[in-house]
Structure formats: C-alpha cells, structure tokens
Amino acid sequence: MREYARTISEAAARFLHRYFLVLLLVGYGLAAVFPGWGLRMRRLAIGEVAVSADQVTLSLPFLMLAFLLLNAGLATETSALRDTMRRPWLLVLGLAANLAVPLLFILVIAGCMRGWPEVEETQTILMGLALVAAMPIAGSSTAWAQKADGDLSLSLGLVLISTFLSPWTTPQVFKLVSFLTVGDYSEDLRELATEGTGTFLLLGVLLPSALGIAIRQALGEERMTAAKPYLKVANGSVLLALIYSNASLSLPDVIARPDGDYLALIAVTVVALCLAAFASGWWLSRAMRLNEKQTASMVFGLGMNNNGTGLVLAAMALHEHSEVMLPILCYNLVQHLVAGGVDFLLARQRTP
C-alpha cells in the first residue's frame, strides 16, 4: 500500500512539473470567470499575531505562503549549503545584482512612462514592479537550475540569503520606489516599508524557511528523500491554489472592463523587466568568468522572484489598489516562460 501511494505521488509530481504552465493558465482562467471560491479562501483566518506594534492576520493565503516556504526549507540540502558558504562573494554579488537591476529598470521605466495619459495606470504598474523587485529569489529557480545542470549549491544559497535578508531588504526597496511614485501610491509604499512588512516577511517567509531546514536536519536525509514526492505534490497544489486565490481579486475586473492599452503596457513592462533580470545574471556571470554550471544558477536566480509572497502582501496591505496584482500575476507567468526559453538555449550550448 505504501509503495502504491508513493508511485501515485511520483506520477502526480511529474504531472505538476510537466504541465505547471498549463495549470497556471487554467488557474488564471478560473480566477477570472469563477472567483467566488478564491474570495472565500481569502476570508478564512485563524486569528492574528502581534509582534511589537505590528499585527499579522493568519489568513489562509498567509498560511499557504508559510507552507510553501516551509517546504522550501525542507528541500534544502545542508551539504549543498556548506559548499555555498565557501564562496560568499558569489552570493553577495548575486544578491546585489538581484536588488540593483530591477531598481534601475523601475527608474528608467518611470521616466519613460511620464508621457502616458493615465497617471493611475502608470502608478499601478510602478507599484506592482516594486512588489516584484522587492521579493526574495524564487525557490523554483533551483528546480530550473537543476534541470539545466547548474550549480545547485549556488542556486540554493542565492534563494536562502535573499529570503533571510528579505525582512530588511524589502522595506528598503519600497522606500526607494516611493520616490518615483506620487499620491496614494507613494504613501502606500512608504507605509509598506515601515508598518508591518518586516514582521510579515519574518513570520511568513523567514521563520518557515528556517523551521523547514531545522526539521530536515532533525529527520535526516533518508526520511526526507522518502517524503520528497509527497512534498512536491503538496507544494505544487498549494502554490496553484494560492495563485488562484490571489488572482480572484483582480482578474474578474479585467474581464468585466477590459482596457487593451493598459494591459499591453503591463505586458511590455513586465516582459522587459523579466528579460533584463535574466540578462543581468548572464552579464554578471560573464564579468566574473563563471563556469557553465555557475552561470545557469546565476541566470535563473537573478531572473526569478518569489511572486507568491508579493501577491499575498499586496492582497493583505493594498485593499484599495487590488489592480496592483496584475503586473505581479503577469510576471509570475512570464518568468516561467522566459525560464523555459533560457533552459532551451542553455541546453543547446551544452550539446556537443
């Protein structure tokens, strides 16, 4: 019976991995047309946690996010982490580029969009890009790096250092972008930087990640290897449910009141940011003369951000600007499409 359950879970894990983009699009479609369950999920909560003067609501989306980060910690191999710490300069440069490149991009885009007639639309996009840029590196970047035969220890190190520093780096990004926005949008970004974001990331991102690593060490590698397919299925299912729930807040309005010019502007800016992020990993690798394995990990690490965290934070803190989630939702899809293209190009380079 146990072997049968493992076989089923392994098949389900392969299915989720192979058809993730298709399932992601299905989730977006369901959120746009049938948002009811997603909105109900958002209203479920088990209480609140107060840390100093900040309060964080333990809503279902928040708990799902915490589970995803716990799962990321459970998947972290401690031996790979020890290898990474022998090369701290790679982590420092990677993290610096991961923060600097999106900020420079937002600065350029803010100047380019000054002539756009709808100020509300440009401010929404800038705030959405800020939420993308401020988030830690996505755990899914390690899966793409591993698929491309990358340096797994470097990939894990980039994810963990950006995750552990996010309670301090994310508010700083919000403060910097607030100088490029106006009105309520600038005020909201400053409030995010000073009121509760650090606590949110501490409880929903940093603590679950650290707890996952501790549990893995306590259980041992053998038990974690046996549980791997079950964790993959749970992770993929929870991730898709979280994306559906968050998308239910904004996508129905897009269907009800479509604005082609605005959606095109979102698509162009998001694709440009994503390409710039991936390209920065390649440029940095060339400048540091990294080998092929290290280059793959750097490219995927700098190109992919943890947008699930950004979506939950936006939904919890920006009730009056739910349309801010549109650029984040778009980036979440685009980064996987670009990652697939990058993987194809890297595979061609590896082919003799």
CA distances for 214 relative to 62, 77, 219, angstroms: 21, 11, 9
Q: How large a percentage of the chain has pLDDT more than 70?
A: 91
Domain range for 55 is: 2-350
Q: What is the pLDDT of residues 87-121, one digit of tens each?
A: 778 888 889 999 999 999 999 998 888 878 888 88
Say which CATH number the domain at 321 has.
1.20.1530.20
Least confidently predicted of 73-82, 222-231, 328-337, 340-349:
73-82
Number of folded domains that form the chain? 1
- Residue 186 is predicted with a pLDDT of 87
- Residue 106 is predicted with a pLDDT of 93
Q: What is the pLDDT of residues 217-251, one digit of tens each?
A: 888 877 877 888 888 888 888 888 888 888 887 78
Neighbours of 14 (CB within 10 A): 13
Mean model confidence pLDDT for the chain? 82
- Residue 119 is predicted with a pLDDT of 83
Taking the model in full, what pTM does it have? Answer: 0.83
Any residues with CB less than 8 A from the CB of 76 and at least 6 apart, and which? 156, 160, 212, 213, 216
- Residue 53 is predicted with a pLDDT of 62
Euclidean distance between CA atoms 55 and 58, whole angstroms:
10
